[in-house]
Structure 1
Amino acid sequence: MQESHKQSEDSNINTSVLSVPTPVPASENAVSCPHHKHTPRTPEATHQLQNRLNRMIGQLNGIKKMLDDNRYCGDILTQIAAVESALQSFGYIILQDHLETCVVEEIQNGNTEILEEAIDLIKKLK
């Protein structure tokens, strides 16, 4: 697992970035999301996604503390930008997972209507 760390000079809030392993293809372990709205993931992938969420929760708690401590607005805004970036990255990982598993499987099964859903999801993350 690769990890890189960026840390604001004015804060102890960590904005680590993790690479998430490729999810288990839907056809190998469970039914894909278009049929039952379920996407199987390896325990490692789930754990890494949960770590990302926990990190963002920690960042949000750090922003709350900064606000309670009357920290400089610029420092708070820097941390807000870091959380937004982390959430955007998280969304892209989930989208990639969806495209590589659910969408591919549905296209292979002849369901091209899944492309419309995929396009709508991409627009939502924009």
Structure 2
Amino acid sequence: MEEKKECAGCKHRTKERSEKERKAMMNRLSRIEGQVRGVRKMVENDVYCPDILIQVSAISAALNSFNKVLLAEHLHSCVVDDIKKGREDEAIDELVKVLQKLMK
């Protein structure tokens, strides 16, 4: 299991990811970034509002998909590790806070 560490500078927890996991996440984010740049160009070019709205909706869907994958990975690794180490309450409390923020 991957050991979570704290960032020395800010004291936030960190997670080591495999190269495959990191690459997949970065690829998704790059595609989303490209979509956002595309919407920016659409605005600069005075594209019709509904066309822009459709693209923004696609960006939202891509971000939601990214969040689902990341949340699943978090549950399968970080939360499981915390539970195995006897930190059930902390893991559940942290998860509840994250879910509350995601569901705003």
TM-score interval w.r.t. the shorter chain? Answer: 0.7 to 0.9
Given that 1:106 and 1:114 are in contact with CA atoms closer than 8 Å, whether structure 2 keeps it comes out as: yes
Match of 1:93 in 2: 69
Q: Secondary structure at the match of 2:17?
A: coil
| Residue ranges of structure 1 left out of the alignment (5+ in a row) | 1-24
For residue 57 of structure 1, report the CA deviation from its aligned partner.
0.7
Find out whether 1:122 has 2:99 as its counterpart: yes
Post-superposition Cα deviations, 1:6-43, rounded to whole Å, max 9, x if no partner, equal xxxxxxxxxxxxxxxxxxx42xxxx22xx521212111
For residue 102 of structure 1, report the CA deviation from its aligned partner.
0.9
- Identity %, equivalent residues: 34
For residue 45 of structure 1, report the CA deviation from its aligned partner.
1.2
Q: Report how many aligned residue pairs link the two structures.
A: 96
Given that 1:88 and 1:125 are in contact with CA atoms closer than 8 Å, whether structure 2 keeps it comes out as: no
Given that 1:95 and 1:122 are in contact with CA atoms closer than 8 Å, whether structure 2 keeps it comes out as: no
Runs of 4+ in 1 over 4 A off after TM superposition: none
For residue 92 of structure 1, report the CA deviation from its aligned partner.
1.7
| Mapping for residues 99-110 of structure 1, pairs under 5 Å | 99-110=75-86
Residues in 2 aligned to 1:92 and 1:125: alpha-carbon distance in whole angstroms: 10
Matched to 1:121, the amino acid is V
Find out whether 1:59 has 2:35 as its counterpart: yes
| Residue ranges of structure 2 left out of the alignment (5+ in a row) | 7-12
Match of 1:16 in 2: none
**Equivalent position to 2:59, from 83, 86, 92:** 83
User: Of the two structures, which has the highest relative contact order with CA contacts closer than 8 Å and spacing of 6 or more?
Assistant: 1
Q: Secondary structure at the match of 2:14?
A: coil
